[in-house]
Chain A
Amino acid sequence: MSTFSTCTSSTRPGSPTDGDVLFETDTKNVIIWDGTNWRGYTNDGISFGANAYSLDFDGTDDNITLGSNISISGAFSISMWVRPDSLLGKYLGDTATDSTFVYVNGSGNITFRGGSGFTTSVGGGSTSWTNTAANLITGSWQHIVITRDTGLGYTLWRNNTSFTTTGASLTDSDISFNQIGEILSYPYGVYNGKFDDLAFYNKELSSSEVSSIYNNNLHTSGLVALYKFDEGSGSTLVDSVGSNDGTLNNFPASPWSSTDKPY
Chain B
Amino acid sequence: MITYIILDASELGNVDFNRVCQTSADTLRYSLDGSKFLLKFEGDTPSFLIGEPQYDHSEILNILSGSEWTSPDLLS
Q: A residues engaging B (CB < 8 A)? A: 58-61, 63, 86, 88, 103, 105-107, 109, 111, 120, 122-123, 126, 128, 182, 184, 187-190, 192, 235, 247-253
Q: Is the CB of B73 within 8 A of A61?
A: no
Enumerate 6 A-B pairs (CB-CB under 8 Å) in ascending A order.
A59-B61, A60-B61, A106-B76, A109-B75, A249-B23, A250-B40
Which of B18-76 touch A at CB < 8 Å?
21-23, 27-29, 32, 38, 40, 42, 57, 60-61, 64-65, 69-71, 73-76
CB contacts (< 8 Å) of B60 on chain A: these are: 60
A105, A182, A250, A253 interface centre (most CB from chain B within 10 Å): A250
Give CA–CA (A122, B64) in the complex, Å. Answer: 22
Q: Is the CB of A61 within 8 A of B27?
A: yes
Q: B residues engaging A (CB < 8 A)? A: 2, 4, 21-23, 27-29, 32, 38, 40, 42, 57, 60-61, 64-65, 69-71, 73-76
- A108 → chain B closest CB, angstroms: 11
> How many A-B pairs with Cβ below 8 Å?
79
- B57 → chain A closest CB, angstroms: 7
Give CA–CA (A221, B28) in the complex, Å. Answer: 38
Q: Is the CB of B21 within 8 A of A250?
A: yes
CB contacts (< 8 Å) of A192 on chain B: these are: 61
Say which residue of A128, A187, A248 sits within 8 Å of B69 (CB atoms).
A187
CB contacts (< 8 Å) of B69 on chain A: these are: 187
CB contacts (< 8 Å) of A120 on chain B: these are: 74-75
CB contacts (< 8 Å) of A184 on chain B: these are: 27, 29
Say which residue of B28, B57, B76 sits within 8 Å of A58 (CB atoms).
B57
